[in-house]
Each structure stands twice: as structure tokens, then as C-alpha cells.
Amino acid sequence: MMPANADCPLCNGHGETVLYRNAFLRVINAQDPDYPAFTRVILNRHVQEMTDLNQAERHGLMSAVYLVEALQRRHFQPAKINLAQFGNMVPHLHWHIIPRFADDRHFPNPVWGMPREEACVPDSDEARDCVSRVAHVAQQLPAYHQAIGETFLPLFGDTDGTLPDQADVEQTLLKIADL
Ligand SMILES: [Zn+2]
């Protein structure tokens, strides 16, 4: 196991809002005001690339990403879900899972790209659809955050670095899709 890197913000993890954590990974609320459901899955170890993990670890990490994606679809009905893994700034494995909407601030660009020229202004008269969509996300957010904990606990355990059984992950994904 690689040692924690003192200069790495993801090894430190200060100020994070953790939704679920075991010894292997954690799931956090990214706390982005434009994207309130933006969620990150972070490997706890300081590892740079997916191919630095063994097969079971790779499957475990991606299972976490897919479970978050499935819960976002269930709770928010987004136009698209963006999955991203860069590490150019912080070379410590972490996945971004972002539900996207046709009227969000950057659509169809990545959330790190250029904002739209006609951004939705919730106070304007023309913005009723945007307002109801923003309200829907806000209303679903607590249940979504609770569902992350409830979904991860039986699969990943409560403390040790349990990696879930892949058949159990598939069953859970189907269950979430059926709800
Ligand atoms: Zn690190």
C-alpha cells in the first residue's frame, strides 16, 4: 500500500462531506452550488491510475461509480450522467459523477467548460422549467444522500475494505432501476 502523500488534498480529505466510507473508498458530496447532486467516489489510497489497482479493486471502485450513477438516475431523471476521471491536478484516483440537465449552467459542455451564453436565471419569468427542475433536484437531494449510505453499507461493509461480490452489485443495480 502506498503511503499517504502529505501534499495531496485527497489523502488529507479535509472539509469533505462524506456520504459513505469504508477502508477502501469514500463517497462524498462535491458541494458544487451549480450542481448540488455532483458526487465523487474517491479511492482512499494514494494511487494514480486505474491500472495500478488489481482486478478486484478496479471492479470494486467502478461498482461504486455505477451504483452512484444508478441512484442519480432514479432520484433526478437527468438528461445525461457525466462520469469523469482526470487527476491532472490531483493525481489520486477519484471519479466525478454528475447528473446533467439541458438547462444547467454549462450544458452541453462539460461542467469544467464554457458556461452557456443564456444561462438559466431562476428569478426570470422565462425560467419556470428551470426553476421546477432545480426545485426537483433540491427536493430529492436528502433522499439521494440517504440512499447512497443504505445502498453501499450491505455491499461494502461498514469499516474494513470490503469489496462487493459482483453478482450482488448487479442485483442491486437492477433493483435500483426497477424502483
Ligand atoms: Zn493522495
The pLDDT tens digits for 38-76 are 999 999 999 999 999 999 999 999 999 999 999 999 999
**Whole-number Å distance between alpha carbons of 30 and 95:** 11
The CATH number assigned to the domain holding 106 equals 3.30.428.10
**C-alpha 111 – ligand 1 centre gap (Å):** 23
Q: What is the pLDDT of residue 55?
A: 96
* Within a domain: 60: yes
* Within a domain: 38: yes
**C-alpha 117 – ligand 1 centre gap (Å):** 36
* Within a domain: 1: no
Q: What is the pLDDT of residue 1?
A: 47
Q: Is the pLDDT of residue 163 over 80?
A: yes
**Whole-number Å distance between alpha carbons of 127 and 135:** 12
Residue-wise pLDDT tens digits, 82-126: 999 999 999 999 999 999 999 999 999 999 999 987 766 666 666
**Parent domain of 89:** 9-178
CA–CA distance from 45 to each of 13, 17, 119, 126 (Å)?
Answer: 11, 18, 38, 47
For 11-28, what is the mean pLDDT? 96
Q: What is the number of domains present in the chain?
A: 1
- Who surrounds ion ligand 1 at CB < 5 A? 5, 8, 10-11, 46, 92
* Within a domain: 3: no
Q: Is the pLDDT of residue 127 over 80?
A: no
* Within a domain: 122: yes
**C-alpha 10 – ligand 1 centre gap (Å):** 5
40 neighbors 69 (Cβ within 8 angstroms): no
Q: What is the pLDDT of residue 35?
A: 97
Q: What is the pLDDT of residue 126?
A: 61
Q: For residue 162, what pLDDT band results from cuts at 50, 70 and 90?
A: confident
Q: Is the pLDDT of residue 10 over 70?
A: yes
Give the residue among 6, 100, 3, 107 at the shortest CA–CA distance from 45: 3
* Within a domain: 4: no
Q: For residue 3, what pLDDT band results from cuts at 50, 70 and 90?
A: low
148 neighbors 68 (Cβ within 8 angstroms): yes
In whole angstroms, how large is the CA radius of gyration of the chain? 17
- ω before 78 within 30° of 0 (cis)? no
**C-alpha 20 – ligand 1 centre gap (Å):** 18
* Within a domain: 19: yes
**Whole-number Å distance between alpha carbons of 134 and 91:** 32
Q: For residue 159, what pLDDT band results from cuts at 50, 70 and 90?
A: confident
Q: What is the pLDDT of residue 56?
A: 95
For 142-163, what is the mean pLDDT? 94
Strand 39-43, strand 94-100: pairing: antiparallel
Q: What is the pLDDT of residue 119?
A: 65
**C-alpha 15 – ligand 1 centre gap (Å):** 15
176 neighbors 71 (Cβ within 8 angstroms): yes
| Cell numbers placing 167 | 453478482
* Within a domain: 27: yes
